[in-house]
A and B are shown apart, each in its own frame.
Chain A
Amino acid sequence: MRTHLLNWSLLLSVVLVLSLTAVSGAQNTAYQENQWMEGAVSHIGKLTGHAKNAREDYRRYCVGCHGELGDGEGENAPWLDPKPRNFTLAQFKCRSTPTGTLPMDEDLFNTIARGLDTSVMPPWNTFTKQQRADLVAYVKHFSARWQTEKPGTPIQIPSAPEVTADRIKAGQEVFRKLECWKCHGVEGRADGPSADTLTDDQNRSIKPFNFHDGVRFKCGSTDQDIYKVFMTGLDGTPMPSFADNVKPDEAWDLVFYLRTLQPMHSKEKEIARQLGLKPIDPNAPPPAAAPQQ
């Protein structure tokens, strides 16, 4: 009897040892998927974020949409539009860096706090700054791009000049000349000739911004934030970067003009009213032919 018991307990322990080995093996696989976890850090001013410290916050608050693997395929994703960001591609709309480059850590840090208007991404301003910094590092650990590339050099935003009637008129001319109206419409109502054909990088239909019903912009609502959008472009969307072809002064003029299209009261809107500013005329004589290259 005793020998039987001994045999059974021996067998049981062998089974236990084997199953433990299997479990730890599985953990090893999961760990390999997250091979950049240990080294993934973020630097926000004096704060340093560590990915491993954000594990629980990510699993509790982010995983439902962005998914365990950070691929934007969380269980809520099928019902969302716009879709949650796929962090494994390391491509972000709201950046201070040129088109095609990685964002700064601060850009991701600010996006988490601000949320993304017109999407279901809320402002996560209940997190401490340390929690956010840790989450930025966690977001970064999903893509190998952060191991091999550096973020682009942030674009410089000179301080804003004074708003004047001349600047608003000049801004409207920039709006016409750069053909912003082709997508955003002559009055900024998202009804330009190309508006209904736009698609994003996954070939999903996407609408241009309607300045008349939007008070808040996706990448922040300050004048500097708007300036940044047309100098960096919104990667993954049809919105291109104008950085190569717009001078800082012209960019500020455009910011002031765009403010006149928005619904809320503003200094710019008041000046436009006094000027009796009419929407641009797309049928005005076409600009002179391009110079020979």
Chain B
Amino acid sequence: MKSRYKIAVTVLALLFLAFGFLYSGNSVNAAAEGKITGTIKLSGTPPHMKPIDMSKEPYCAKLHASDPVKMENVVAGADGSLRNVVLYISEGLTGNEASAVPSETPTWDQKGCQYIPHVLALDVNQHFKVVNSDPTSHNIHPMPKLGGPNHEWNKSQPTGAPPFDVSWTGEEVAIPIKCNIHPWMHGWMAVVKGPTTLSDDKGSFTLNVAPGTYTVTAWQEDYGTQTQKLTVAAGKPVTADFTFKAK
């Protein structure tokens, strides 16, 4: 009798688990059913990006001697595509979509006296890893808006120091990051709720969302924000192209 009871409990537990898996699978599928794709363009002549003088850090100056690193405020392709633009949903997310936090832990690397990537798009409370790949010390100094939801901190990461893990608690587009030792090092972290991505080297992007009506916002560090309202249906990608005007 006792063993039968045990079997019944085990079967029930297994059924429970199986339904759980099915259910979670369903919800993931639902979230991925809709798609927003697009291309970011820059109209007009792209501004000249000055080469960076790294002579104050001999190691980095030598590293880039043959091909000096240029400023990265505006990274435009010959075809007018614009890279490093942050895309996110600023309106229309349901509570669940807004509060879901991706499990991927992106890396913020200090390499060759540059931030790699130059712009990082993150979810609120999403963890990221700060790495120093250089044989020189850096101090990583994010400077969120004073009085805002996130707070400034400033940590040294000497050469060989292990990576450390951090996250941001509030939405902010975008937090400037700097290294005081190497004042040319400058980057951004855009912290939003829900799906977010960056335009790639062809200026294109994809945001996976559930069907619904949304406002998509595109943010570029020099040119500010642009928005588009659109409705996403299941299985039909919606296009949202943005064009920023060169100043």
Interface residues of A (CB under 8 A from B): 86, 88-89, 91, 99-101, 145, 177-179, 182-183, 193-194, 197-199, 201-202, 233, 235-245, 286-291, 293
Contacts and interface: CB of A to CB of B under 8 A. Distances in A.
Interface of B: 56, 58-59, 131-137, 139-141, 143, 146-147, 151-161, 163-164, 180-183
A199 B176 CA distance: 14
Q: Which secondary structure dominates chain B's binding surface?
A: loop
Contacts of B143: 201
Contact of B155 (A178, A202, A240, A289): A240
Q: Which secondary structure dominates chain A's binding surface?
A: loop
A99 B153 contact: yes
A233 B181 contact: no
Contacts of A289: 135
Contact of A291 (B156, B157, B160): B160
A146 to B, nearest CB: 13
Most buried by A among B59, B155, B182: B155
B131 A293 contact: yes
A69 B35 CA distance: 48
B135 A179 contact: no
B133 A293 contact: yes
A286 B147 contact: no
A5 B101 CA distance: 75
B181 A241 contact: no
A178 B157 CA distance: 9
A142 to B, nearest CB: 11
Given A179-B136, A286-B135, A245 B183 contact: no
Given A201-B152, A241-B154, A290 B133 contact: yes
Nearest to B137: A179
Contacts of A197: 180, 183
30 contacts: A177-B158, A178-B137, A179-B137, A182-B181, A183-B181, A194-B56, A194-B180, A194-B181, A197-B180, A198-B180, A233-B153, A233-B155, A235-B153, A236-B152, A237-B154, A238-B141, A238-B154, A240-B141, A240-B180, A243-B155, A244-B155, A244-B157, A244-B164, A245-B157, A245-B158, A245-B161, A286-B136, A288-B135, A290-B132, A293-B163
Given A244-B156, A244-B164, A290-B132, 20 more contacts: A99-B155, A100-B154, A101-B151, A177-B158, A178-B156, A182-B181, A193-B56, A194-B183, A197-B180, A201-B152, A237-B154, A238-B141, A238-B180, A240-B180, A241-B155, A244-B157, A244-B161, A286-B135, A293-B131, A293-B163
A281 to B, nearest CB: 13
A45 to B, nearest CB: 27
B246 to A, nearest CB: 26
Most buried by A among B131, B154, B157, B182: B154
A242 to B, nearest CB: 5
Contacts of B147: 88-89
Contacts of B139: 238, 240
A193 B113 CA distance: 15
A90 to B, nearest CB: 9
Contacts of A236: 152
A99 B58 CA distance: 29
A100 B161 contact: no
Contacts of A179: 136-137, 158, 181
Contacts of B133: 290, 293
A145 B152 CA distance: 13
B156 A242 contact: yes
Given A100-B151, A183-B180, A197-B183, A240 B156 contact: yes
Most buried by A among B132, B152, B180: B180
Given A88-B147, A244-B164, A290-B134, A99 B181 contact: no
